Structures are given as structure tokens and as C-alpha cells.
Amino acid sequence: MRFTKRWGRLVIMALAVTSVIAGCSKNDDNDDIIAPPTDPSSAVLSGTLNANTTLTSDKTWTLSGYVYVPAGVTLTIQPGTTIVGDVQTKGALCVERGGKIMADGTATQPIVFTSGNPAGSRAPGDWGGVCILGKARTNRSATPLIEGGLDRPYGGTDDDDNSGILRYVRVEYAGVSAFPNSEINSFTFGGVGRGTIIENVQSSYGNDDAFEFFGGTVNCKNLVSFATADDDYDFDFGYTGKVQFAVALRDPAFADPGDESNGVECDNDNPATASAPFTRPEISNMTLIGPNAASSMRFNFGNRWRRNSRFVFRNSVIMGWPKAGLSLESDSTANGYRRDTSVFRNNIVQALAEPFKSNSTMFTAEQMETKALAEGNVKLTNATDVMLTAPLTLTAPNFVPAAGSPALAGADFTGLDAFFTTTTYKGAFGTTNWLSGWTRFFAKGQ
């Protein structure tokens, strides 16, 4: 009897293996296309991929636990594909150094990562998120490990490193806190190089930051942060890339209960050392919209530059933030702006409390404001003075400036390089709404 059962199990296993192999095919690059038509278990990814893999759009794919794309392996995702994070195991996707992701959606067929729960019962933090690690420089003296329990190394010396493509991609309901102050964000980028393409990407209802950059040089265009809990755009550990055309919109009823939520938060490191390269993002045409109302939520600043960070922030709109539009924290950060190591020019600034705030005794808020207004920045009293079409509507926002808006003119690109598309307008939008077709705005849970 024992002999018969053993051979019976072997026969069943052999048939199962044959079935999976028969269900796989090859594309032109000889990559495995995992799409067995009748085996639902084939749509589950777990552990470490050991071969080039393509996710097809005819199935809904599930990330079970932490899924890794190691060095030498490429994960390709077809346009229109949906990937869900398993809620029980807090699924997440991590592309390691030397691995690649080719998630190249289209405006009509975006790639969607979302919660494994059905619509109506989804919640921020249902699953992990998307993490990409590269070989570009950081300001860490030793090779760092990415946070959130993923524990994979990132960074190196290749600022042109290529980790693949994220284009027309949405991530919804991500953000797992593995440990205190160690989270997976909707999008986590560690040491990602400028050879990587990140364009037309949306985070929605993330339970931590929407986009966090730990070092690296990757350049990004057309980013959307919708209703995140903590920071919309967070830069650390020597990030020196560029961002153009980015927008953030807050849900006034949702914020991080244990932190203070900002539009941009930036640190060189903690505890504010002079480690090089300094964190110095170059940003133009960003629209950062706070809740525009008094709230019990811990909403904070439109721009929060701290811990010896540097910055270039131009041609942008900051509005609706409770405490301040531009906040400089620490003498070293404030001195960077005072001495023009950091740049803040041709922006529109509005806040409920005060447009400009400084924690430095060497460069006060009054001195900040005098410098800012002399360098093309405009201070407005009310969010409605910015005259965007419908900026505070959660389910159908429209960030295009209305006729007569001060955001329609006054941009200046002097000194910015060819990565930046020259515009006449300030903020992420002129007369064209580039959100059409591929983004989704919705009530929490849906």
C-alpha cells in the first residue's frame, strides 16, 4: 500500500508539471510567458523569480508575500494587466539591483497594482507596494538595505543604471509598515539610475509615502500622488534626480496618525550630516494641494526641507497646506537657500497659516519671504486665488488653470537642463489635462 501511494503521488506530480509546462509559451525573446489558461494557481507569484517572466493581460495576477526580481531576470508586464497584492501575506514586488521591470502600459491600457480585497472593502495598507533598487550613488558609507522588511541592498557607482520602465502604471492601497519607521511605500526607489524610465505613474490611498527616493539619479515625469497618508514626495540619502509635472491631492479625512504629512519632505540623512552627494532634487512644474481646511488630521507643510538637504524647486504651485507652504528646518538647510545652493523661484505659494516658515535663527521667515518675493515667487491669500478649475474634488479633480489664473504665466527655465520641457505656466498643468484616460480618482475603499 505504501509503495502504491508513493508511485501514485509521483504520477500526479509528473502530470501537474507537464500541465504547467504545456500551458507556457515563448515570446520572441525566449522569455517564459506564464499564462496557463485553466490553472488558476499559475496566476500567483511568490518568492524569487528564477527566469524572465511575462505577465499577460488576460489574467489577474496575485503577489503572495514578498516577490523578488533578482539580478539578471526581467519581469515584463503587458499593457492592461492587473496585479493584486495578497492581503493575508501583504504581497509586495521588489526589483533587485541588476533585475529589471518592463511595465510599459498605455494611456488606454494602464497597468494596475491594487488590493486583493474586492472593491468596497479595500483599505490603505492592504498590501506592500512596488520597490525598485538600482546601482546609482547614495550618500551612505556602507551599502544600505532597503527598508520595509525587504532587506535587499541598493546603490553603487553607476548613475546611468537601467532598472527598466514604469509607464502608465497605477498603485492603489499599498503601504505596509513592517516595523516602526520602516515601511514599504506605494513606490520605493533605492539607488535607481537615470537609465530607468518613470513616466505617467499614480499612487492612490497609500498607507505611507506615495513616492520615496533613497538616493539615486532617476528622472521622472507625470507623477500623481492621490490621498496618501504620509508624504507625497520624499527624498533622502543623496537623491539628485529630476522631477517635472507632478501633482498631489489630499483627502482631508485621511492622513498618517503617527507622523506629519507633507507635500514634499527632504533630508540629506538623519542626523543631518554633510555626507555627499547631498540630497538635492531638481523639481519643476509641481502642484501640491493640501486639504485646504482645518482638520484633526496631522497635515503639515507643502515643502518641508530639513536635515541639511538642498533643493531646486521652480515653476510650481503650493496651496491649501495648514501650517506653511515653504518650511526650512535647521540652520544648514536655511543657509543653503540663503546662499543660493538651494533655489526656490517662480512659484505660487499659499497656506492657511503662513506661506513661509523657518526654524533657523540665522535666516528668519521674514528674510525668507523677502528673498522669495524678489525671485519671482507669488504669495496668495486664499486657495481660490490660484484659480484652478476644480482642484479639491476628490472623485473628479481638474487641476488645469482657469482663465485668468496666475498659474498660466510666469514660468522661467533659465539654468535648467534639457530634461525639462519649457512651459509658460506654473504647476503641473497648462491647458492640457494629461491625467485623462489612465488615472483613477475615487472614494476610499473603492
Judge whether residue 124 has pLDDT over 50. Answer: yes
Judge whether residue 16 has pLDDT over 70. Answer: no
The region of weakest confidence among 31-35, 164-168, 251-255 is 31-35
Q: How far apart are CA 249 and CA 226, in angstroms?
A: 5
Query: For the chain, what percent of residues have pLDDT higher than 70?
Result: 89
pLDDT at position 254, please? 93
Let me know: does 215 contact 164? Beta carbons within 8 Å.
Answer: no
pLDDT at position 331, please? 95
- Distance from CA of residue 34 to its chain's centroid? 28
Cell numbers found for residue 55: 505577465
Q: State pLDDT tens for residues 243-282.
A: 999 999 999 999 988 778 999 999 999 999 999 999 999 9
pLDDT at position 177, please? 73
Q: What angle do CA 8, 10, 11 make, to 5 degrees?
A: 65
Judge whether residue 20 has pLDDT over 90. Answer: no
Q: Where are the domains of the chain?
A: 31-408
Q: State pLDDT tens for residues 367-424.
A: 999 999 999 999 999 999 999 999 999 999 999 999 999 999 999 999 999 999 999 9
pLDDT at position 343, please? 98
Judge whether residue 6 has pLDDT over 90. Answer: no
Average pLDDT value for the chain? 91
pLDDT at position 108, please? 98
Interval 216-227 mean pLDDT: 99
Query: One-letter amino acid identity for 388?
Result: L
Interval 222-250 mean pLDDT: 98
Judge whether residue 443 has pLDDT over 80. Answer: yes
Q: How far apart are CA 383 and CA 48, in angstroms?
A: 48
**Whose grid coordinates read 503521488?**
9
Q: State pLDDT tens for residues 333-373.
A: 999 999 999 999 999 999 999 999 999 988 999 999 999 99
| DSSP per-residue codes, 256-304 | -TTS-B-SEEEES-TT----SSPP--EEEEEEEE---S--SS-B-EEEE
pTM higher than the cut 0.75: yes
pLDDT at position 296, please? 64
Judge whether residue 304 has pLDDT over 60. Answer: yes
Let me know: does 416 contact 429? Beta carbons within 8 Å.
Answer: no
pLDDT at position 176, please? 85
Interval 15-26 mean pLDDT: 35
Judge whether residue 10 has pLDDT over 70. Answer: no
Name the 3-class secondary structure at 430: coil
pLDDT at position 30, please? 47
pLDDT at position 17, please? 32
Q: How far apart are CA 53 and CA 164, in angstroms?
A: 14
pLDDT at position 284, please? 99
Which residues 6+ apart lie within 8 Å of 360 measured at CB? 328, 329, 330, 331, 333, 334, 335
Name the pLDDT band for 42 (thresholds 50, 70, 90): low
Judge whether residue 1 has pLDDT over 60. Answer: no
The region of weakest confidence among 39-53, 182-196, 322-336 is 39-53
User: Strands 44-48 and 233-236: what pairing?
Assistant: unpaired
CATH topology of domain 31-408: Pectate Lyase C-like (2.160.20)
- Distance from CA of residue 266 to its chain's centroid? 14
Judge whether residue 5 has pLDDT over 70. Answer: no
pLDDT at position 162, please? 98
Q: How far apart are CA 236 and CA 229, in angstroms?
A: 18
In sequence order, what are the beta bridge partners of 188? 131, 212
pLDDT at position 40, please? 47
- Distance from CA of residue 287 to its chain's centroid? 15
Q: State pLDDT tens for residues 167-192.
A: 999 999 999 877 677 789 999 999 99
Which of 136, 134, 124, 143 is closest to 166 using CA atoms? 134
